[in-house]
Amino acid sequence: MRFNAKDLALLARRPSGCFDKEGRLKICRVVGDEKLIEPRERWCRLKGNLLFLMKNKSFEASEVVILERCWVVEFRSKTDVSIVLKFQSGEPDLYLEAASKPDCESWAVALGEANSEGLQNKIQQLRRLIMEIKEERSSDEARQFLPSSQVDSLGELQFTSIQRIANEPKLEFSLACKDLVAATRDRKLNTFIQVSVVHPAEHILTRYSSTEIVEGTRDPLFLTGVTFPPEYPIYEETKIKLTVYDVKDKSQDTVRTSVLPDHKEARADVGRSFLGCTTFRVGDLVKSKEQQLTLTLRTSDGGKTVGTIEVNLVKMGELEDGETDHITTDAQDQKCALVRECTATEGISGRDNLPSLNAVLKNPICKLYRFPTSDNKWMRIREQMAETTLSFHVPKELINLHIKEDMRRNQELKDLGELAPHWDNMRRSVIAHCDQMLSMYQDTLAELGKHTGSSFKSSCSKGEKTLEFIPINLHLQRMHVHSPRLKDALYDVITVGAPAAHFQGFKNGGLRKLLSKFEAERRNTGYQCIYYSPENTAKAKEVLSNINNLQPLISSHADLLLNSASQHSPDSLKNSLKMLSEKTELFVHAFKDQLVRSALLALYTARPGCVLKKPAVPRNTAEEGDDLQHQDHPSQIKRQDSIPHHSEYDEEEWDRVWANVGKSLNCVIAMVDRLLEKDNISNIKEGENDPAAADCRMLHTGSDWYEQLYPLVITLKDCMGEVVTRAKQSMAFVLLQELACGLPQCLMLTLRRDIVFSQALAGLVCGFIIKLHTGLHDQGFLQQLHTVGLLVQYEGLLSTYSEEAGMLEDMAVGISDLQKVMFKVIEAKSEDFLPIITGRREHYIIEVQLPAKMFELLPQEIKEGKLLRMYPVLFNVGINEQQTLAERFGDTTLQENINQENLELLKEYYKLFTEKMPPDCLPHFQEQNDLKGLLENLHQNIQAKKRKNVEIMWLAATICRKLNGVRFTCCKSAKDRTSMSVTLEQCSILRDEHQLHKDFFIRALDCMRRMPHRECTEECQMQKVCIQHDTADGFPKVLQTSRRDIWKS
């Protein structure tokens, strides 16, 4: 090539503003993988397709590189800051190293667009833009002659909504191309379609979605369809643009296959090329007779025809009579192509409208697929991922309950009365720490009340203190399958990040280790405070809860009894007495425990004037009768023997006070019986002779009944008040010891446990509500729900290495705590269907509200308020590269212990199920596998201790589905590992239960793994995770990811 050296030198010395890009780079020539010399720093200036290399900014150019017939190779690792220019002429490659990753990426873009091919791509983009402007200009010119008010009203009137079934997508269609024209005759096309939407009011082109890439054919049939959710603003006047691209080289990692924000443009580089585009109105598709459009694909200038594209309207409820005519395989490239001819017949009946789900689920992301079955029929799959408002609703409700519970506890500590100086100082310290913790809960609740925007917490926010109670990436993943010869089926999986206290960190482990260590330290607290076992402290909290619940109920029933007596109503009197007797008996039974007696003695010794060598320690009847336990803990023997028996303390006084409540109740019952008996005799004698006299006597007798019952009821209330005062003080003293033995660790552990439990409960409530709605018409499931309970299976994918081991410990405790949660279904009294949470720590009741029509479908037992039990189980299998390190150099005992413990819980649930439920209550595919055999197989796999044994996950998930359970899948952030596991499970279900064609398993998996998942970060959206045998991620082969199969921007 001829050139003028002087002109080039003059161009290189022009001011900085004249260049497309300039900056410092380290440069050298490379042959193969070897650098000829060490990289040397040069000042680089780019102008057009000329790259000037200068020793310094003020020096003359030492070399000029012409950027033609070359391409840019960019290394995709996050740490690599180098790029390589490769030349078709065969000359040595040019290695360029930048100072930072952003600088490297900007150079890669600039160099990639500097050649003539990049310029041509820009010209094509400008041509397409001009065409779009021409299409919209006519409508814009017509509108500009109207006043703005008329334009708005016209826009409101002329947009025609699409008729649809409630809660169903507004529009769904599938795509296929025919007779595509390639740039060269021998080239086999690798094509995908990008779908864009032009709203009739805004006239802005918005990129919406894209299909998968179909390789090696000019007649591609795309398995991924297009679906618009119910909330999407699409009308008959809306235009949809379809653009077909050819992916030239998959290994270049340059193809965008997902939804992009409006303001971002795809890189126009060598990775793909534009084939053709076309546009259609939604109304034309909806109103077409065959519900199908055949459109012509044209080049950017609108002149050349490059093929046709078929758009088929899809309705999930319709059957397809046609077959897949043939499935051909190119033996050379092993790429499958499909040809299909099918017609849609009349649809199946519509589904139930579930309005209460709208209060729980929001912002759905939908995908539509069509896959061939083994008998060459077509099945349709709609995949939906939705956020849930429960991510914030449940934690806020819980924190509110925590605040009320802690305020009540602090007041009970203050009401202990006068204490000796040692105990009083201890109480002051405890109350001060509790007030600080209470203030923190209140601040967190206030911050959550200010939250606006997304209804889920993304993984990048998991370290934020104000959001630590919120679960990470809580979503519903639903797959709706419509098979030609099977019933429609729904498969739900709740995906969520592992419940863990990320803000507090995992330097010292998670809850499982911290609680064990804290309990061991608390046993050796010495003389400072009294040790009560966790069972005793839990019993103390239960007694206090019973007092707070039963005392107002007994008082109200006593008042109703007096009211019935004043009205001289025998039936009402009997009912009031019955309720009063039942609640009082529960009240008396709540204090029938040795703990109350021993705590009263310990509290007495803590009063001023009672001098003891050591503080009081409660007697525990279980400990007194267990000699072996005393032998194992000699320190405990000494402390138990030091329990004081003060000569002035009357141990039988509590028994007398406690028994007085029962005696007072017996007096009330006897008086009511006597009054009713006298009333019956009087009615027989006098009512028949003189009715008027009988009425007068009734008024007088009503006054007598009230006067005779009033002192007895007052006595009952007084006796109950004395019992309440003493019992509250004694149990508060027990809680004082629990808190004082481990300040501030005790409160910090309580906070950590509350955080983890809040995240776990939000997911559980979401899973229960979804399962209840989908099973409303399944009488077997409803019977199982109130007879046995609901199985909740968590699939954990955390490693047992480093921080993730602490997350797993947190998660195990949080899921175990869900056993103490009970559910209750009530009829909604308003349009607010969000669940109501009541109770206290370790004993919560979730009230799920249903509309009246749905509530009537429930069995009588559930409608009467029967509490529904949960059986949560967790099985964890670490699958990433960190688990490889744990298995080779670390310890996997934590995972093995968790799996073994939860296997026993699963066996216990199965035993209850077989004892209480008839065999026909299992799902229809129960006949394929015996549950007992599956449990035995799961037991063997857990005992085998095989590395990364994913068989455990599949067996546990299969058992859960067969037992009508709720499925959860969790990893650190519910993104990559979770998505890989869920999509693999979905494709396995399609293969095993719906006869997915064996040759399309991998392709179906590929389509599903392109769906944007949790958070929708740009890099995560573009992941295309395929099953590969050559991998660097350390995953099991069925879940492996190859670096060259991840599509990046």
Tokens 């015996």, residue located: 930
CA 392 – CA 454 distance, rounded (Å) = 10
The CA–CA distances, whole Å, from 699 to 566, 567, 571, 693, 703 equal: 9, 8, 16, 10, 7
- In which element (H, E) is residue 941 found? helix 931-944
Give residues with Cβ within 8 angstroms of 758, minimum separation 6: 394, 395, 398, 399, 469, 470, 471
Please choose, from the candidates 314, 470, 316, 332, the residue with its C-alpha nearest in 3D space to the C-alpha of residue 392. Answer: 470
DSSP state of 742: T
Cis peptide before 859 (omega within 30 of 0): no
Nearest to 557 by CA among 532, 535, 574: 574
Cβ-contact 206, 241 below 8 angstroms? no
Where are the extended beta strands (E) located within 299-360?
305-313, 318-320, 323-330, 335-341, 344-347
Would you call 971 a catalytic residue per the annotation?
A: yes
At position 848, the amino acid (one-letter code) is: V
Contact 767, 968 (CB under 8 A): yes
**CA distances for 277 relative to 124, 281, 711, angstroms:** 12, 14, 92
List Cβ neighbours of 756 (8 Å cut-off, separation of 6 or more): 499, 500, 501, 511, 810, 811, 813, 814, 817
Report which of 433, 456, 165 is spatially closest to residue 317, judged by C-alpha positions.
Answer: 165
DSSP for 400-463 reads HHHHHHHHHHHHHHHTT----HHHHHHHHHHHHHHHHHHHHHHHHHHHHHT--S-SSB-GGGTT
| C-beta of residue 969 within 8 angstroms of C-beta of residue 978 | yes
Buried b (16+ CB within 10 A) or exposed e, 495-504: bbbbbbbbeb
- Pick the closest to residue 371 from 1009, 1045, 999, 1027 (CA basis): 999
C-alpha distances in angstroms, 18 versus 10, 15, 47, 61?
12, 6, 8, 16
CA dihedral 764, 769, 770, 774 (to 10 degrees): 140
The span from the CA of 39 to the CA of 538, in Å, is 69
- Token readout for 226 is 């297009």
**Catalytic residue from among 971, 1007, 1016, 1020:** 971
Phi, psi of 678 (to 5 degrees): -60, -40
Tokens of 764: 């559980």
Alpha helices in 84-186 (DSSP H): 101-112, 116-143, 148-158
924 close to 993: Cβ distance less than 8 angstroms: no
Q: What residue type is assigned to position 172 of the chain?
A: E
Is the separation of the CB atoms in 1011 and 1024 below 8 Å?
A: no
Residues 6+ apart with CB under 8 A from 825: 772, 847, 848, 850, 855, 858, 862, 863, 868
What is the dihedral angle through the alpha carbons of 163, 169, 171, 177, rounded to the nearest 10 degrees?
-160
Are 630 and 619 within 8 A, CB to CB? no
Contact by Cβ (8 Å): 128, 194: no
Residue 436: burial class (beta carbons within 10 Å; 0-12, 13-18, 19+):
exposed
Handedness of CA 206, 211, 213, 216 (dihedral sign): negative
**Residues tagged active-site:** 971
